[in-house]
A and B are shown apart, each in its own frame.
Chain A
Amino acid sequence: MQFFFEVLIGGLLSGVMYSLVALGFVLIYKASGVFNFAQGAMVFFAALTFVGITELGVPFGFALILAFGAMILLAIATERVVLRPLVNQPQITLFMATIGLTFLVEGLAQGMWGASVRGLEIPGIQDEPLEWMMENTGIGVSKFDLFAAGVSAVLVVVLALFFNKTRVGRALRAVADDHQAALAIGIPLQDIWRIVWAVAGLVALVAGVMWGARNGVQFALTFVALKALPVLIIGGFTSIPGAIVGGLIIGASEKLGEIYIPPFVQSTFGLETNLGGIEGWFPYVMALLFLLVRPEGLFGEKHIDRV
């Protein structure tokens, strides 16, 4: 049972990290209706830029600000080069454009900072078990995971406040509801897009630093974004709480599934092969099954088709 809880908590906490990436998707989808496939590339770009800047001898905090600056520049460039010319195109065209953007950003990041794997350390936070938790219950919980969970919680609260309490946030929600109506009442669409892409860039930076500190800053970071897709499906494309809950579900079920399902299947069917590594596809199949029950996700908006 102890082992079960350890796996569960580990899964939940890694799910928080998926949520971080999924948040970026949700933000952009909410505000501009663009399904931004490049979010993973942005995570990679942000992490690599951040590490590149710290390697030049810039202190941690200042490097964060500089990297955020780079993400803002990227947001402005994206709006100008990709989004503006494609205004009013079908969603699928925009989606494909962001796939192109993915390649562009990946190439840019590696071209600027090199393709080697880099380590990233967050000062004061190590990936080691929490002592008192270990002594009292015998369950090992990584300090780093807890820190990541804390950061994501803060980020979600800040984003929620930003969306609900500020002028810009209200404008963002207006644009999300109806582009044309928002334009008609004088909300500058292009500014809103820039802001939302910049905020998504910030989320990508936080996710990149977290994932980078855990797995090293490397090209594999872009695959993390693919894991965020089932999270989105379960949570719904337009819901920030959905991204969090979806992340937790995916994280926990993926880790539990990886531990318990292959041995179970092997013993039932008497197979000798090692069926490990189901982590790669398990979240997707789970999301698929989920879709059959609730096509709009947990918190997504119900979609009504009219002819």
Chain B
Amino acid sequence: MLYREAGQFKASYKEDQQIFPIRQDRIAIALILAFFYLVVPYFASQYWLQGIMIPVLIFSLAAIGLNILTGYAGQLSLGSAAFMAVGAFAAYNFVLRIPGMPILVAFILAGLCAAAVGMVFGLPSLRIKGFYLAVATLAAQFFIVWALTKFPWFSNNSSSGVITAQKVEILGYAFETPEAKYLLTLAVVTVLALLAKNMVRSSIGRSWMAIRDMDVAAEVIGIRPMHTKLMAFAVSSFYCGVAGALYAYTYLGTVEPEGFNLDLSFKILFMVIIGGVGSIMGSFLGAAFIVLLPIFLNVAMHALGGWVPQGISSNLELIVFGGLIIFFLIVEPHGLARLWQIGKEKLRLWPFPH
């Protein structure tokens, strides 16, 4: 009834190539954005903003990064947390060592640093693929964390590599309250997500998908594998790097290299799997799911009172986590994003099912 594109004609190429071709989609996106920009900062509590909204947004960004690499370009990576670490430490050093460095420029430079590192570790992808490549990215994961711990220059000679992010200030306005930090994060994430959405539906995105589906065939039809794969690594690492910088500046404030460990990489991978491999929307859904699940389990555990033994609860989280991954892969290999799509299909037919 409500969600139907009947009667919306496309009379020009420009209209045909819109990012959201259906009017209802545009309205929905506008409403969602308005909700998160205007309503949430006023009504959400400090805990919700600082403890849930900001990490969800940051992880969404990292998940978009990994999704570009794994979901669109088909290169499995287990090193996303390391690229986040590069971003966080690069941003810290830019602000620290260059006086008067604007914070947003530092974020972008941090992303570019991560992109450069990502390209170096993406080089093996030209010769190897699949699981072999996953092991190569593990090398990145362990090496980068080690290097950040061992060379004190990166953390300005602090003990065990802990850095404390400087104050975030743009044009003299200090972002100190959770609301301000939330809005900053949201703005960065919105811009980058929009960029990613446009990238994956343009020629570079199509060549990523061609490489993913069959790289030999893609090469035959004239897509340069080296260019395309390295581009995927660079863009993906850029997103992870910016996410890492935000992680340090707007979420935690104090980070250490060990915080960006393999577990975090896996977490981001799970966000991509559960959210939907090859979907920008799915990255958001997956990140929200993975951040909220432990909190929800915790609350449920408390609600059950003393019924659940102490030792079980943390393990239960592991079990539920693992079980859900398997469940999702079996029932819906395309993740939450696919469920969202099915919902839309159903809505188009509603209330007449045929």
A15→B125 CA distance, assembly (Å): 27
* Cα A101 to Cα B273 with chains together (Å): 14
B322–A104 CB distance below 8 A: yes
Asked if A115 contacts B127 (CB within 8 A), the reply is no
Q: Is B259 interfacial (CB-CB < 8 Å)?
A: no
Task: Give the complex CA separation of A43 and B298 in angstroms.
Answer: 29
Asked if B326 contacts A107 (CB within 8 A), the reply is no
Contact between B128 and A295, CB atoms less than 8 A apart: yes
Q: Would you give the shortest CB distance from B297 to chain A, in whole angstroms?
A: 12
A59 contacts chain B at the CB level, 8 A cutoff? no
Chain A interface SS verdict (over half): helix
Q: Which of A93, A105, A115 contacts B322 (CB 8 A)?
A: A105
Q: Measuring CB to CB, which residues of chain B are less than 8 angstroms from any residue of chain A? A: 76, 124, 127-128, 130-132, 134-136, 138-139, 142-143, 146, 150-152, 214-217, 220, 262, 266, 269-270, 273, 311-312, 315-319, 321-326, 329-330, 333
Instruction: Say yes or no: B132 contacts A291, CB within 8 Å.
Output: yes
Query: Quick check: which of A82-90, A142-150, A206-214 contacts chain B, the rest being far away?
Result: A82-90
Q: Which of A85, A273, A275, A295 contacts B132 (CB 8 A)?
A: A295
Q: How distant is B154 from chain A, measured CB to nearest CB, in Å?
A: 11
Number of residues of chain A lying within 8 A (CB) of chain B: 49
Interchain CB contact under 8 A, A107 and B318: yes
A229 contacts chain B at the CB level, 8 A cutoff? yes
Would B136 and A291 count as touching, CB distance under 8 A?
Answer: yes
A197 lies within 8 A of chain B by Cβ: no
Taking a contact as CB atoms under 8 Å apart, the answer to whether A284 and B150 are in contact is no
Given A89-B333, A107-B316 in contact, is the A284-B269 Cβ separation under 8 Å? no
A100 CB contact (under 8 Å) in B142, B151, B322: B322
Task: Give 17 CB contacts A-B under 8 Å.
Answer: A89-B329, A96-B269, A96-B273, A99-B270, A100-B322, A101-B322, A103-B318, A103-B322, A104-B326, A111-B315, A226-B138, A280-B142, A281-B142, A285-B139, A287-B139, A288-B124, A307-B214
Question: 4 new A-B pairs (CB below 8 Å) besides A280-B142, A284-B139, A288-B135?
Answer: A91-B130, A104-B326, A111-B319, A307-B217
Decide yes or no: A100 and B325 within 8 Å by CB, A107-B316, A237-B131, A292-B127 being known contacts.
yes
